[in-house]
Amino acid sequence: MEIKELQDKMYKAGVLPVIAIESPDQALPLADALIEGGLPVAEITFRTAAAADVIKLLKKERPQLFLGAGTILSVENLVKAHELGALFGVSPGLNPAICQKAQELGFPFFPGVATPSEIEQGLSFGTKILKFFPAEASGGTAMIKAASAPYAHLGVRFIPTGGVSMKNLEEYLSLKEVLVVGGTWIAKKDMIAEGRWEDIRKAAADAVAVVKKLRG
């Protein structure tokens, strides 16, 4: 997928559910809850041993899902995500070795940043879409506006994650610098473990309503 198409899909989605899932058995009902809620997108994180199997299963059984891989902390994670067919990768920080490998693979990869120096390091790898993490603890929307100003003419966009919720979703999405927000609140680990698919569907639908209000 071309980066422009990927960027357009992220902007339209508005919210990227960040998901830590413990068992492949939970993958399909989770995906269906997101799809039914109008949010057919997911970032499956490598925080659990099941991540690779979940990505593989969803890629095969729910191809309509806009599927990425998160918490990529090693080159091995990155290569595995790419091999399994994830459309993009995300990490909480910026590891030059991972960024370099992503470049070699031609795999869209969004490293985490929290300072201007890290933004510039990301730009040195040709990456203009960057995760802003941890968003709230790093100054929230005020920090995004201040830190992004010197780079706006370069088309830098952010994926703020960490402390984003329904309470401040509109505040983040109102910023032109924000491409999409990442959040665990759509499908928390306990919601998945307890099979609360209706709660996940509703959380997705509520988020979609805010996105539509702001982005049409």
Which residue among the candidates 76, 83, 118, 131 is catalytic per the annotation? 131
> What distance lies between CA 170 and its chain's CA centroid?
17
Nearest to 11 by CA among 129, 127, 110: 129
* Active-site annotation holder among 4, 5, 12, 43: 43
* Residue 7 host element (H or E): helix 3-13
Spatial neighbors of 75 by CB under 8 A, at least 6 apart, are 97, 98, 101
* CA 182 – CA 160 distance, rounded (Å): 6
Strand partners, 66: 41
How many whole angstroms separate alpha carbon 43 and alpha carbon 172?
19
Q: Is 93 helix (H, G, I), strand (E, B) or coil?
A: coil
* 59 closest CA partner among 39, 34, 42, 45: 42
Q: Is 43 a catalytic residue?
A: yes
Give the 3-state DSSP-derived string for 123-167, with helices as H, strands as E and coil as C: HHCCCCEEEECCCCCCCHHHHHHHHHHHHHHHCCEEEEECCCCCC
Backbone angles phi, psi at 90, to 5 degrees: -140, 145
Task: Give the phi and the psi of residue 136 in degrees, each rounded to 5.
Answer: -65, -40
Active site amino acids: 43, 131
